[in-house]
Structure 1
Amino acid sequence: MPVSLLRPALAVLLFACLTACAGGDGRDAGEPVLAANAALPASVPKGTKLIIGDPPTKVALELSGEIDTFSFDIEWANISGGPLTSEAFRADALDVGAVADIPPIHATWTGLPVKIVAAKFRKDPLDHPTYELGIAPGVAVKTLADLRGKKIAYSPGQAQGALVLRVLTRAGLTKDDVTLVELPSTADVYPNALASKQVDVAPIGGVNIKRYVTKFGRDGATTVRHGLRDDPAHLYVRTVTLQDPAKAAAIREFVAAWARASQWVYDHPKEWIEGYYVKDQGLSAEDGQYLVDLAGEPEIPADWAPVIARHQETIDILAKETGNEALKAGDLYDLRYQAVAADAIKEGTS
């Protein structure tokens, strides 16, 4: 082999060796490994740090005064949503992500092993939906059956995309009965796509539900409630992160704080509206109140069996429609953390 070709080949071989030796997880060889079935350590060693992508919880902890009480260091990453979180996980630039129920599924399907360590929902979820189906001006959709033949915004790997497939199943339709238009579900993309009639239907959430009808209702824009639970909120981590005893212990401490922060937000709506929606997000107090009312009271279960069963239903629908392997939902959850959040709430109210 010519020298000019040999040197690049050796460089690639050396890089592959170094990557393999390091394990690709940012941990040094010889560090202790916590087995998946081992009890979580009781304390967090000094010098431990977590990189956490959960901007709303950061603000909630600041407002509640708990942000300076952790026994470890936190670097807060301004990251949210499944795609960005998975990208950060792969770059070894994030330890904990906050998402809905779809990103852990999609991450596993794309070769990124992850575990869910916390689960939160909304009490009375049908009265407090996360999303409604936005209907473009002039499009006649009043029931789910009317979705047949329509162009529907679709974001694979995100909660909105999974909701579309679940809605179609509920309506007795498949993706072949509609036209799925792939669009990123970020910022105002979906409302604008509806207004411009790029799509006929799109799941829109949060303040966009109110704003969409307010802005385009005069042109005939409407929304339709889908009648399904769409409220899962999870903390998840890379499986390899939980092999680090120090980080596994720190994650338990953060899960407890995350639960208390969720309850604090519900118990202090005025402070949350002013401190987060107005000062941090730049919304009006009126929009903040709308979002607080929309979210309702949090529900943090101590038993994940019903949670896993619902997650399995979603996985089965996604697997059927996407051609991916049907995962076992239980494999996505680290049951060592099952009662951590609920216990934190119970202790805080006792």
Structure 2
Amino acid sequence: MRRTSRSTVVAVLAAAVLLAAGCAEEQAGTELELTAALPDQVPSGTVLRLGDPQIESIVGVSGQDKELAAAGVKVEWANISGGPKSIQAFRADKLDCSAVADIPSLFAAWTGTSTKIVFQSVTLDPLKYPIYKLGVAPGANVASLADLRGKKIAYSAGQAQGALVLRVLQKAGLSRKDVKLVELTSTGDSYVTALGSKAVDVAPIGAQNIKLYEAKYPGASSIGTGIRDDASTLYCLTSAVQDPQKAAALKAYVGVRTRAVLWANEHPDGYAKAFYHDHEGLSEADAKAVVEIGGIKGIPKTWDAAITRLQETADLLAKEQDHEKIDVNTLVDRRFEAVQAAAAGSQVVTGDAA
């Protein structure tokens, strides 16, 4: 029997290693078509860079971080959310995906950053549990939407709050000429400070901050908008969903994220402690109150209604802010629609809330 020399074995092994490396390199360089099926297997070493602080907290406390690890997904968490910060991070190639409302996807497109929405959730009773209320400055005398005429209103064109202001004016039968829009980016408590100092008369404030605002400034008040504002998404760089490795990891993450949302519904105290108390620094009582104000979140079986609402908003912003018209279907990756519906199982929302 002929024996293979040691040098021959080494040469064969070296060739195999080079071939494997070449295949891996080729796979990494392959662009996944946006119509192709999402890959199931997450290659070893795949990293997702996510700005998703609330879900990060839930994943940790619920034990679903183990599911991510078992799926082979490694996450680099960033304490980033919202449109301006996420778009800036996208442009610097520091982030793959971020948790936002629906407006940032529009402004990303209008400013040359290609993204795709890969996750949608809804509030089951959105008008009872709004994301925003209109904070009213002390002495501003605003008791209804009709009283907005002639008022100074905080306005941020590239944020959900800005779109909400335009929708409120539309509902009230007012135009931008009927009020004074004060350009002010909503960061931290900037809107609250502007109201307290009477730099503006009205500003959209997160519903969870209304009590704090009214307690801090004597004479402060608030009114409801009567407008659905519960859009909640995860959007990603298009290049991330076109990367086969990241697309596979995102498929796994969307499933975990779905279960995290449902876990928070079933464990409101655990959610309150993990995010609002431990991460945000609120007292335990305030943390629980914020979760209660937010209502119950649902996973829609279909994204049709959410896309219709986004198109209506896009058309309004295009008209009012002189943007190009856009077909919002180009901003949504509906391959993930079935992924989250499957992860929600019998808890998927099939009614009007979707």
Normalization by structure 2: what TM-score? 0.88
In 1, are the aligned partners of 2:28 and 2:243 still within 8 Å (CA)?
no
Q: 1:229 to 1:222 in 2, by over 3 A?
A: same
Larger mean CA deviation between 85-94 and 339-348 belongs to 339-348
In the TM superposition, residue 271 of structure 1 has moved relative to its aligned partner by 1.4
Specify the alignment match of 1:183 in structure 2: 184
Question: How many residues in Structure 1 have an aligned counterpart in Structure 2?
Answer: 321
Distance 1:191 1:174 in 2: 24
Secondary structure in 1 matching 2:191: helix
Specify the alignment match of 1:299 in structure 2: 298
In 1, are the aligned partners of 2:195 and 2:201 still within 8 Å (CA)?
yes
Specify the alignment match of 2:21 in structure 1: none
Specify the alignment match of 2:67 in structure 1: 69
Alignment-mate amino acid for residue 34 of structure 1:
L
For residue 43 of structure 1, the aligned residue among 37, 41, 60 is: 41
In the TM superposition, residue 196 of structure 1 has moved relative to its aligned partner by 0.7
**Structure 2 unpaired stretches of 5+:** 1-24, 349-354
Distance 2:240 2:124 in 1: 31
Specify the alignment match of 1:149 in structure 2: 150
Specify the alignment match of 2:131 in structure 1: 130
Specify the alignment match of 1:250 in structure 2: 249
In 2, are the aligned partners of 1:260 and 1:348 still within 8 Å (CA)?
no
Q: 1:40 to 1:214 in 2, by over 3 A?
A: same
In the TM superposition, residue 138 of structure 1 has moved relative to its aligned partner by 0.5
Write out per-residue CA displacement over residues 271-306 of structure 1, whole angstroms, 9 at most, x where no aligned residue. Answer: 122222222211012211221111111121121111
Alignment-mate amino acid for residue 280 of structure 1:
H
Alignment-mate amino acid for residue 38 of structure 2:
L
Specify the alignment match of 1:95 in structure 2: 96
Distance 1:68 1:30 in 2: 25
Write out per-residue CA displacement over residues 29-81 of structure 1, whole angstroms, 9 at most, x where no aligned residue. Answer: 98111111111112111121110110111110000011132122111111111
Specify the alignment match of 1:238 in structure 2: 237
Q: 1:161 to 1:266 in 2, by over 3 A?
A: same
Secondary structure in 2 matching 1:209: helix
In the TM superposition, residue 204 of structure 1 has moved relative to its aligned partner by 0.3
Moved over 4 A (4+): 27-30
Q: 1:336 to 1:220 in 2, by over 3 A?
A: same
Distance 2:26 2:180 in 1: 49
The structure whose Rg is larger is 2
The equivalences for 1:5-44 within 5 A come to 31-44=29-42
In 1, are the aligned partners of 2:124 and 2:297 still within 8 Å (CA)?
yes
Alignment-mate amino acid for residue 167 of structure 1:
V
In 2, are the aligned partners of 1:53 and 1:77 still within 8 Å (CA)?
yes
Specify the alignment match of 1:13 in structure 2: none
Specify the alignment match of 1:60 in structure 2: 58
Write out per-residue CA displacement over residues 185-234 of structure 1, whole angstroms, 9 at most, x where no aligned residue. Answer: 11111111111100000000043111011222xx3211000000011110
In the TM superposition, residue 342 of structure 1 has moved relative to its aligned partner by 2.1
Q: 1:209 to 1:195 in 2, by over 3 A?
A: same
In the TM superposition, residue 307 of structure 1 has moved relative to its aligned partner by 1.0
